[in-house]
């Protein structure tokens, strides 16, 4: 070892001396000072362009104004290079001044992509990776950069879980690979596994790792794909200041036509003849919706030298929600510093400090019973003949049905505030041990502190019952990560190139939380800040959990002649969450790519610029299990004896010592193609992934005392094809680029415990009796809707099917009898039995899209730029509990104008049943809608000042723009918005409950003006 190192050292010395000789050689050749200016083909000055005297190490970069000066002699060649631009060579002749224009490089092959524990050129890539650049992430203001991925990358689906400001998102890469565990992708921010994304303006690029070859290096956390986030760095050159700001005005995307007071009175008196008119005519949607807005500001300072570079950015995002009293704000500071401590050692640190604040209103309520209705739910249900306030100034309560508060009261009286403070830092040290061998160690730390306070004052029903209800809770989650790995490059005969990565990683996460509450206050004015003033103290709670993961990982890349590329990845993960019999897991993958264009037979095929085939296969995992889930448990049982709470426990969980991770096996076959001098780029992929050992809460017969046990049973499959097409349609003065991506995914349950259907409910709790409305069934997609087939309305003289709880009257709901006959053993035969019951339920739809797509067009002409971005989803269905609730025409709430077409003895040609109070709320095909949509996500027109004016103002860039988001949506769906996700947050619900709608905060449409300035 020592000897090898010594000889290497000598090698360095020789190279160094040789270079010195060379440079001194050129010094000898009568050098002169060459100056000039570098501009881009669009006329912008270009700072930071690297200029090298060819064949030497002499070089410089352009300054902030694009000017350079370098010493060179006649006959030398200057090489101008800049990422994203074609490299240009200029031969020095007698002139001393050379202005250079660099052309945009439309070939993406030299594009550098970030992958796990390293980077790769796109041409060397063997896996399936999509990349989204800064411009797309900041095309319009978003609270979270992930939101900006919607429609931008093939295979990536992004949906808001609820439309509220600062609300969470559902991100799926190539479908949901799990049923009960999270299918959320893994986020890696500048190498920090599970890191938090900074503001969108601070992100340089996002790479989405999709196939096993790319994700297996993240082992037991890679199964759902990996989103690699790279933040911006300073570039060599003078300090550069960027200032971006925008203002958006927002309004609700759509409204629902409800009955007005007169119509409501008719509708109600049909069944409650003595219903008393309350005299008002209130449009409750008018009462809760308002013009919202987003202000977004970001300023960054960046720059650097050979030794150090820096990027410091501050941003402020402030959204006023389109529903009264809702909003979100975010302050963030991002800082990236990199130092070259010596020739061999570089260190750096990434910092993110963020404060978020969220004022929430209740939407998507889990149960909207007495006092529980949320703002949107109540706006649809509440009686239009009631005013906002009674004569005595109190807020009106529902006049019939469950006592719910009016939506204005819910929006304005209830307080719900969440404040989050996040600090994330990631330090690295990179040590070039010897030539081609380097060692990198990182130490990351993150702490996320959140405090949520809620107060329900006595002006609301729920508060009045208890004299006001206040809760305050906090959580503190910390993450510590250390990653250490070696990278070694080896070239043999220039034909055989190897790259090795090997490392060790350790990560520890602590989650803690505590909360307390009180009721019965003297006044409503103290909100949740005076719990001690409550006459009734609620039971406080606290919790702690810890997870540790340690891993070794490695990768070998081998390329032969740059033509045949091989990659092998593996990770060996140990996790504390796993059961005692299965603490460690191994995840290997392999990939092969073939640059076919480099073959002789393709040489003369001129219209093909590049053609690469890729194939990969590998295993990745999903930790699936939460801390302590494998252990049997007694938990506290709240028992009162003699008027006081006593220590008591009850069995709550039964053990499974063999519980293990979920494994996804993914096969990917794809091609990267470029045609017509790289003006047309096409990437196509086919994949099939099967996740086995699915963690299941296997339903137990409840007579065991348990409702379920976690077991590794079952399989789910996702397969699909994806295409990404980028074209350069025109160049020159009018530039027109198009990018289009489409993802077709099919999700299917392959195996379930014992092959049995699993039924579960997903509806709001107060729609009592809906029962189990969804099904997991082999051969069907996850989250299929389960209910009766609606056959319209019974007419006079029809044969009414008998069945407990089913209507047998003209004007009643008519369902189809499809099953129920039983054989001698009591098993169903699949034949109708002439009666309706639970056996007549069937799969009536699912929320999985047939395909999703995005289409982006960028035009630029002189200083103008135009962007038109469409995004859509096709073939997904929606089960609307909202419409079920208000259009069943049974309950004691308002209805939509569809009720005007209800069945009456004189209006029989309709599928809307008659008004009644006797009808069960029942999930049927009546409430399943086509959720397909096409949406003009963004349209934006910008103008950049020409450099002639900029120079006078001594700024380098100034762009003004106007844009609009979500202003056009084409859909058949009758709810607020087809982008729905009720009851779909977190773990199991996020996979099983797709395409459900209930009382969601609707999305907004926006009109934006903005300014980008650099100087």
Partner 1 sequence: MKNLHKIIISLGLVIGLGACADLEEKPIGVFAPETFFQTPKDVETAVLGAYGVIASENLFGRQFICALQFRGDMITIGNRATSAERIQMNDFNMDSDNGMIRRFWPQWFQAINAANSAEAGGISLDLPDNEINYLIAEARFVRAFSYFHLVRVFGDLPYINFPVTDPTSLKTISKTSEAEIYQGIIADLEFAKQWLPNKQKNDVRTRPSAGTAASYLASVYLTLGDYQKAYTEAKFVIDNKDLFGYALEANFENNFNANIADNLKETIFAFDFLGQISGSNGQNDDSLVPMLAVLNLTGGYGVSVPTQAVYDTWDARDYRKKVSFVDTLVVNGVKRPYKDFSTPRPHVGKWVKLPGNANAIGRYSDHNIADFRYAEVLMIAAEASAEINGPNAEAAGYLNQIRARARNWAGTQVDFPADVMPSMSKPEFIDLIIEDRRLEFAFEWKRWYDIKRRNLGEKVFLGPNSLEPQPTFDPSRDYLMPIPDSELRINPNLAPNNPGY
Question: Which residues within the stretch 551-580 sit at the binding site for partner 1 (CB under 8 A)?
Answer: 574-578
Q: Which residue, 576 or 739, has its beta carbon nearer to partner 1? A: 576
Question: Which residues within the stretch 504-533 sit at the binding site for partner 1 (CB under 8 A)?
Answer: 504, 506, 508, 519-520
Closest CB 324 distance from partner 1, rounded Å? 25
Kindly state the DSSP code that residue 704 receives in the 8-state scheme.
Answer: G
Of the candidate residues 11, 84, 705, 830, the single one contacting partner 1 (CB under 8 A): 705
Question: Which residues within the stretch 622-641 sit at the binding site for partner 1 (CB under 8 A)?
Answer: 627-628, 631-641
Rg of the chain, C-alpha, whole Å:
32
Query: In terms of Cα–Cα distance, which of 226, 230, 231 is closest to 153?
Result: 226
Of the candidate residues 83, 539, 953, 968, the single one contacting partner 1 (CB under 8 A): 539
Whether 995 contacts 175, CB under 8 Å: no
Q: How far is CA 440 from CA 218, 226, 434, 437, in A?
A: 17, 21, 13, 10
Question: Which residues within the stretch 75-134 sit at the binding site for partner 1 (CB under 8 A)?
Answer: none
Closest CB 426 distance from partner 1, rounded Å? 16
Query: In terms of Cα–Cα distance, which of 28, 48, 27 is closest to 38?
Result: 48
Closest CB 503 distance from partner 1, rounded Å? 8
- DSSP labels, 923-989: -BGGGEEE--EEEEEEEEEEEE--HHHHHHHT-SEEEEEEEEEEEEEEE---SS-S---TT--SHHH
Question: Which residues within the stretch 449-488 sit at the binding site for partner 1 (CB under 8 A)?
Answer: 461, 464-467, 482, 484
Please give the Cα distance from 491 to 558 (Å, whole number): 10
Please give the Cα distance from 402 to 383 (Å, whole number): 12
Closest CB 466 distance from partner 1, rounded Å? 5
Using rule CB under 8 A, residue 538 touches partner 1: yes
Of the candidate residues 64, 280, 917, 967, the single one contacting partner 1 (CB under 8 A): 917
Using the structure block, give the residue that is written with the tokens 């969470």: 168
The distance of Cα 245 from the centroid of its chain, to the nearest Å, equals 24
Beginning with the edge strand found earlier in the chain, give each strand of the sheet holding 88-91 in spatial order.
59-61, 50-53, 77-81, 88-91
Question: Which residues within the stretch 871-910 sit at the binding site for partner 1 (CB under 8 A)?
Answer: 891-892
Question: Which residues within the stretch 239-278 sit at the binding site for partner 1 (CB under 8 A)?
Answer: none
Of the candidate residues 260, 921, 957, 988, the single one contacting partner 1 (CB under 8 A): 921
Closest CB 704 distance from partner 1, rounded Å? 4
Helix (H, G, I), strand (E, B) or coil at 87: coil
- For the chain, give the longest Cα–Cα distance: 110
Question: Which residues within the stretch 318-377 sit at the binding site for partner 1 (CB under 8 A)?
Answer: 370
Q: Which residue, 370 or 962, has its beta carbon nearer to partner 1? A: 370
Of the candidate residues 29, 239, 307, 648, the single one contacting partner 1 (CB under 8 A): 648
Q: How far is CA 920 from CA 812, 819, 917, in A?
A: 11, 20, 9
Please give the Cα distance from 615 to 594 (Å, whole number): 9
Please give the Cα distance from 990 to 829 (Å, whole number): 34
Closest CB 408 distance from partner 1, rounded Å? 20
Q: Please list, residue by residue across 534-555, b when 16 or more beta carbons sit within 10 angstroms of its beta carbon and e when fewer do.
A: beeebeeeeeeeebebbbbbbb
Q: Which residue, 637 or 730, has its beta carbon nearer to partner 1? A: 637
Paired strand residues for 934: 872, 970
Compute φ and ψ for 532, nearest 5 degrees: -65, -15
Please give the Cα distance from 423 to 779 (Å, whole number): 45
Question: Which residues within the stretch 390-449 sit at the binding site for partner 1 (CB under 8 A)?
Answer: 400-403, 431, 433-434, 439, 441
Closest CB 425 distance from partner 1, rounded Å? 18
Please list the helix, strand and coil fractions of the chain in percent, rounded to the nearest 5, in that order: 15, 50, 40
Closest CB 752 distance from partner 1, rounded Å? 12
* Candidates 24-32, 310-318, 523-531, 703-711; binding stretch for partner 1 (CB under 8 A): 703-711
Q: Which residue, 539 or 605, has its beta carbon nearer to partner 1? A: 539
Q: Which residue, 20 or 539, has its beta carbon nearer to partner 1? A: 539
Q: Which residue, 71 or 550, has its beta carbon nearer to partner 1? A: 550
Q: β-strand 828-832 against 820-822: which pairing, if any?
A: antiparallel
Compute φ and ψ for 140, nearest 5 degrees: -150, 160
Using rule CB under 8 A, residue 829 touches partner 1: no
Closest CB 79 distance from partner 1, rounded Å? 33
Please give the Cα distance from 196 to 203 (Å, whole number): 12
* Candidates 190-198, 209-217, 278-286, 918-926; binding stretch for partner 1 (CB under 8 A): 918-926
Of the candidate residues 118, 366, 533, 771, the single one contacting partner 1 (CB under 8 A): 771
Closest CB 899 distance from partner 1, rounded Å? 16
Question: Residue 873: how many CB atoms within 10 A of its CB?
Answer: 23
Q: Which residue, 89 or 754, has its beta carbon nearer to partner 1? A: 754
Closest CB 32 distance from partner 1, rounded Å? 42
Question: Which residues within the stretch 775-814 sit at the binding site for partner 1 (CB under 8 A)?
Answer: 803-805
* Candidates 153-161, 377-385, 733-741, 819-827; binding stretch for partner 1 (CB under 8 A): 819-827
Closest CB 817 distance from partner 1, rounded Å? 14
Using rule CB under 8 A, residue 706 touches partner 1: yes
Q: Pattern of binders to partner 1 over 740-759, x per CB under 8 A?
A: ----------------xx-x
């Amino acid at each position: 070892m020592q000897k090898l190192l010594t000889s290497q050292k000598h090698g360095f010395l020789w190279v160094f001396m040789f270079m010195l000789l060379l440079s001194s050689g050129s010094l000898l050749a009568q050098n002169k000072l060459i100056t000039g200016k570098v501009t881009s083909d669009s006329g912008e000055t270009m700072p930071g362009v690297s200029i090298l005297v060819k064949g030497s190490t002499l070089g410089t970069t352009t300054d902030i104004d694009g000017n350079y000066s370098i010493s060179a002699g006649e006959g030398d060649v200057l090489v101008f290079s800049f990422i994203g631009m074609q490299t240009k060579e200029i031969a020095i002749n007698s002139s001393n001044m050379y202005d250079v224009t660099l052309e945009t490089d439309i070939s993406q092959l030299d594009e550098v992509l970030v992958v796990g524990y390293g980077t790769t050129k796109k041409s060397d890539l063997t896996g399936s990776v999509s990349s989204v650049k800064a411009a797309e992430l900041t095309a319009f203001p978003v609270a979270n950069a992930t939101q900006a991925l919607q429609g931008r990358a093939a295979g990536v689906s992004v949906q808001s879980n609820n439309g509220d400001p600062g609300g969470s998102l559902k991100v799926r890469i190539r479908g949901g690979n799990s049923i009960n565990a999270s299918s959320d992708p893994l986020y890696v921010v500048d190498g920090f596994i599970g890191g938090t994304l900074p503001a969108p303006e601070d992100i340089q690029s996002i790479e989405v790792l999709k196939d096993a070859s790319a994700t297996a290096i993240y082992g037991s956390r890679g199964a759902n794909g990996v989103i690699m986030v790279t933040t911006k760095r300073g570039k060599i050159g003078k300090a550069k200041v960027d200032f971006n700001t925008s203002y958006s005005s927002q309004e609700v995307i759509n409204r629902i036509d409800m009955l007005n007071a007169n119509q409501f009175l008719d509708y109600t008196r049909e069944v409650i003849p003595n219903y008393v008119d309350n005299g008002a005519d209130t449009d409750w949607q008018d009462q809760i919706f308002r013009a919202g807005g987003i202000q977004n500001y970001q300023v960054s300072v960046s720059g650097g030298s050979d030794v150090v570079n820096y990027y410091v950015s501050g941003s402020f995002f402030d959204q006023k929600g389109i529903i009264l009293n809702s909003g979100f704000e975010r302050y963030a500071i991002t800082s990236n510093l990199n130092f070259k401590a010596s020739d061999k050692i570089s260190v750096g640190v990434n910092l993110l400090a963020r404060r978020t604040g969220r004022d929430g209103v209740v939407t998507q309520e889990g149960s909207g019973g007495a006092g529980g209705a949320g703002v949107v739910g109540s706006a649809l249900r509440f009686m239009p003949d009631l005013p906002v306030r009674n004569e005595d100034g109190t807020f009106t309560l529902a006049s019939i049905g469950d006592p719910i508060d009016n939506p204005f009261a819910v929006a304005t009286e209830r307080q719900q505030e969440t404040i989050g403070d996040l600090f994330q830092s990631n330090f690295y040290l990179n040590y070039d041990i010897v030539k081609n061998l380097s060692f990198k160690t990182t130490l990351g730390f993150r702490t996320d502190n959140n405090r949520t306070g809620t107060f329900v004052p006595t002006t609301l029903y729920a508060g009045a019952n208890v004299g006001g209800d206040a809760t305050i809770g906090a959580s503190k989650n910390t993450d510590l990560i250390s990653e250490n790995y070696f990278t070694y490059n080896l070239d043999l005969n220039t034909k055989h190139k190897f790259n090795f990565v090997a490392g060790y990683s350790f990560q520890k996460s602590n989650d803690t939380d505590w909360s307390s509450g009180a009721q019965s206050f003297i006044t409503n004015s103290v909100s949740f800040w005076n719990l001690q003033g409550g006459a009734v103290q609620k039971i406080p709670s606290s919790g702690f959990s810890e997870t540790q993961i340690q891993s070794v990982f490695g990768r070998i890349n081998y390329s032969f002649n740059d033509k045949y590329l091989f990659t092998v990845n593996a990770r060996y993960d140990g996790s504390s969450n796993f059961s005692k019999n299965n603490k460690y897991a191994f995840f290997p993958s392999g990939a092969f790519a073939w640059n076919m264009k480099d073959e002789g037979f393709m040489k003369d095929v001129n219209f093909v610029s590049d053609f690469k085939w890729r194939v990969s296969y590998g295993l990745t995992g999903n930790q699936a299990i939460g801390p302590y889930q494998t252990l049997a448990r007694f938990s506290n049982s709240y028992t009162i004896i003699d008027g006081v709470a006593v220590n008591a426990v009850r069995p709550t969980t039964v053990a499974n010592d063999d519980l293990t991770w979920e494994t996804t096996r993914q096969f990917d076959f794809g091609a990267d193609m470029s045609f017509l001098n790289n003006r047309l780029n096409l990437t196509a992929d086919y994949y099939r992934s099967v996740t086995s050992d699915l963690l299941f809460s296997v339903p137990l017969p409840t007579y065991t005392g348990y409702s379920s046990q976690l077991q590794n049973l079952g399989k789910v499959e996702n397969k699909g094809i994806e295409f990404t097409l980028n074209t350069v349609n025109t160049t020159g003065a009018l530039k027109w680029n198009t990018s289009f991506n489409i993802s077709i995914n099919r999700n299917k349950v392959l195996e379930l415990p014992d092959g049995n259907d699993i039924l579960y409910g997903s509806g709001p709790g107060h729609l009592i009796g809906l029962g189990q409305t969804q099904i997991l069934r082999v051969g069907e997609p996850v989250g299929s809707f389960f209910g009766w087939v609606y056959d319209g309305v019974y007419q006079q003289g029809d044969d009414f099917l008998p069945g407990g709880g089913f209507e047998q009257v003209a004007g009643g709901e008519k369902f189809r009898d499809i099953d129920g006959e039983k054989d001698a053993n009591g098993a169903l035969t699949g034949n109708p039995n002439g009666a309706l019951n639970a056996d007549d339920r069937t799969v009536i739809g699912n929320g999985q899209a047939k395909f999703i797509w995005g289409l982006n067009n960028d035009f630029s002409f002189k200083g103008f730029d135009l962007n038109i971005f469409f995004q859509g989803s096709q073939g997904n269905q929606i089960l609307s509990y909202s419409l079920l609730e208000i259009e069943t025409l049974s309950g004691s709430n308002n209805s939509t104008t569809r009720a005007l077409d209800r069945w009456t003895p004189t209006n029989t040609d309709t599928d809307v049943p008659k008004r009644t109070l006797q009808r069960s709320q029942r999930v049927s095909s009546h409430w399943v809608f086509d959720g397909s949509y096409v949406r003009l996500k963004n349209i934006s027109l910008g103008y950049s000042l020409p450099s002639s004016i900029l120079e006078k103002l001594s700024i380098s860039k100034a762009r003004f723009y106007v844009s609009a988001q979500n202003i056009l949506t084409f859909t058949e769906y009758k709810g607020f918005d087809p982008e729905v996700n009720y009851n779909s947050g977190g773990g199991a619900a996020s996979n099983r409950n797709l395409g459900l709608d209930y009382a969601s905060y609707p999305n907004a449409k926006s009109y934006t003006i903005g300014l980008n300035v650099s100087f």
